[in-house]
Amino acid sequence: MAAPPSAYRDRQFLAVIGDEDSVTGLLLAGVGHVTDPPDSQRNFLVCDSKTERSAIESAFNRFTKERKDIGIVLINQHIAETIRDTVDKFQDAFPAVLEIPSKDHPYDPEKDSVLRRVRRLFGE
Amino acid sequence: MADTLPSPPESRSPSPELEHNENEDNLTRKLDTLLEKYLELLDQYTALREELSKTFSAGFFSLAQAQRASTLGAGRRYGEECYDERMKAQRRVGVSEDETDEHHVFKVDKVVRVEKEKNSISVEFSTSADESKPQEQAGRQSLQATVEVQGEQQEKKLRPKQDPAHRDPVTWFGILVPPALRQTQSHFVKATEKSIPELLSIDSAMKSVEAEIWAVRDELGMLADYDENAETAKHAPKQTEHDKQLAKEQIYTVSRRKLASRPAHSKSHLVQLSE
């Protein structure tokens, strides 16, 4: 299971896809990073009810597949639900994806991909 | 009984059935040990999930308090419009491999000194390293050395006195920082430095044990029972058949390599769980 060090050595950033409060909180913790211009890239996406599904999906793909400097992707569980297929299809060890609760949507074990794996393991 | 069984691994023994049974017993015991270990990890995972939820709730609560007592002026919030677009990550990820077990351990730590410019260069480097084969050690090391030298040089040239990279994010919103906002920060720092990396490390350990469990079940010929269940499970992610096959093959090949190295010793009361 363990991936070679080359798979994670340069993955030093956390990325966040979440509602404004989740992103604000995590940026207050100092995870935010904007790369230097001219090609400035943020490592976070603030979503609200108007954010297009395609925008969320492309941010997720950018953080998980294109960028090689991200080690952890945090995504609000309710936002992950909107792109469930894409999130579940991503099975690589790096970056690690973790679904986090948001202010209005507490953590729901039913939707947790880890616990779904557990249920599969026990043949449920 | 065992005396009558000369058992070189590859040759045919005089009583293949007996040997077969013994092998099966060993595998069953191994499966029990693995399941026991897995349940312990699951327990830790659940506890950490609870902890993360609590920390996040506390953080959201403090943030809401800060918004209510906001000194930012009418209609303005502690939110996206006040983010400093020059921000540099002050907490970063470190990954290592567990020494006793083959899983990854995540850490998130505060960086004391942020090296400007070096990051963009190392991104470039990591892309090229990913494309090359891991065996190309020598080439990679020299490349890394060059990258670091370049990074240091640029850092000396480009580092201004008031580096935004060193600015505490809590000051993005003004000089007067409400206590509730500081509290928000400390809750999210706790989540980022503790719960999140711990959850991911446990998840990685669980994946590793899962792979072993599937491999042992494969050897015991138990897969058919689970495969059908797994494929039709209502909670299973909507993957294509091809994806599932790929994922499974990956898991089995990796875990077969590890199987031989682990000793099996345990009671067999957990077998029922797998039914």
Tens of pLDDT, residues B182-193: 999 999 999 999
Pairing of strands A96-100, A70-76: parallel
CA distance A77 to chain B (A): 12
Report the distance separating Cα B16 and Cα A68, nearest Å.
52
Global confidence as pTM: 0.72
**pLDDT computed for residue B75 by the predictor:** 74
**pLDDT computed for residue B24 by the predictor:** 84
pLDDT band at residue B16 using 50, 70 and 90 as cut-offs: low
**pLDDT computed for residue B271 by the predictor:** 37
User: What DSSP assignment string belongs to A14-30?
Assistant: EEEEEEHHHHHHHHHTT
Alpha helices in A1-124 (DSSP H): 20-28, 53-61, 77-82, 84-89, 113-121
pLDDT band at residue B49 using 50, 70 and 90 as cut-offs: very high
A102-111, B4-13, B131-140, B248-257: least confident range: B131-140
CA distance A95 to chain B (A): 10
Q: What is the mean pLDDT of residues B160-175?
A: 75
**pLDDT computed for residue B156 by the predictor:** 44
Query: Which residues pair with residue B109 across a beta bridge?
Result: B92
pLDDT higher at A122 or B73: A122
Q: Any chain B CB within 8 A of the CB of A81?
A: no
pLDDT higher at B164 or B214: B214
Contact B235 A34 (CB under 8 A): no
Contacts of A12 in chain B (CB under 8 A): 89, 92-94, 119
**pLDDT computed for residue B249 by the predictor:** 54
Q: What is the mean pLDDT of residues B138-147?
A: 43
Q: Provide the residue-wise pLDDT of chain A in tens; the chain has 124 residues.
A: 567 788 888 899 999 999 999 999 999 999 999 998 888 999 999 999 999 999 999 999 999 999 999 999 999 999 999 999 999 999 898 999 999 999 999 999 999 989 999 999 988 7
Whether residue B122 has pLDDT greater than 70? no
Q: What is the mean pLDDT of residues B215-234?
A: 70
Q: Any chain B CB within 8 A of the CB of A83?
A: no
Contacts of A31 in chain B (CB under 8 A): 89-91, 108, 192
**pLDDT computed for residue B192 by the predictor:** 94
**pLDDT computed for residue B103 by the predictor:** 87
Contact B129 A5 (CB under 8 A): no
Contact B38, B213 (CB under 8 A): yes
pLDDT higher at B71 or B274: B71
- Cα separations in angstroms, B228 against A72, A98, A124: 33, 28, 11
Q: Any chain A CB within 8 A of the CB of B271?
A: no
Tell me, what's the ipTM?
0.94
Q: Which element (helix H / strand E) includes B146?
A: helix B137-158
Q: Any chain A CB within 8 A of the CB of B117?
A: yes
Q: Any chain A CB within 8 A of the CB of B203?
A: yes
- Cα separations in angstroms, B153 against A123, B62, B125: 57, 42, 17
For B80, which of A33, A43, A46 is closest by C-beta distance? A46
**pLDDT computed for residue B50 by the predictor:** 96
Q: Which of B131-135, B159-163, B204-208 has the highest mean pLDDT?
A: B204-208
| B39: nearest CA partner in chain A | A118
Contacts of A30 in chain B (CB under 8 A): 89-91, 110, 168-169, 189, 192
Which two tokens mark B94? 């470190």
Q: Any chain A CB within 8 A of the CB of B255?
A: yes
Q: What is the mean pLDDT of residues B255-271?
A: 42
Contact A103 B87 (CB under 8 A): no
With pLDDT > 70 as the criterion, what percentage of chain B qualifies?
A: 56
Q: What is the mean pLDDT of residues B103-116?
A: 78
Q: What is the mean pLDDT of residues B38-62?
A: 96
Contact A30 B189 (CB under 8 A): yes
Pairing of strands B91-97, B104-110: antiparallel
For B192, which of A29, A68, A88 is closest by C-beta distance? A29
Q: What is the mean pLDDT of residues B221-250?
A: 55
Whether residue B262 has pLDDT greater than 70? no
Q: Any chain B CB within 8 A of the CB of A24?
A: yes
Q: Any chain A CB within 8 A of the CB of B112?
A: no
For A72, which of B196, B236, B247 is closest by C-beta distance? B196
Per residue in B81-98, pLDDT (tens digit) is: 888 888 898 899 998 888
Contacts of A51 in chain B (CB under 8 A): none
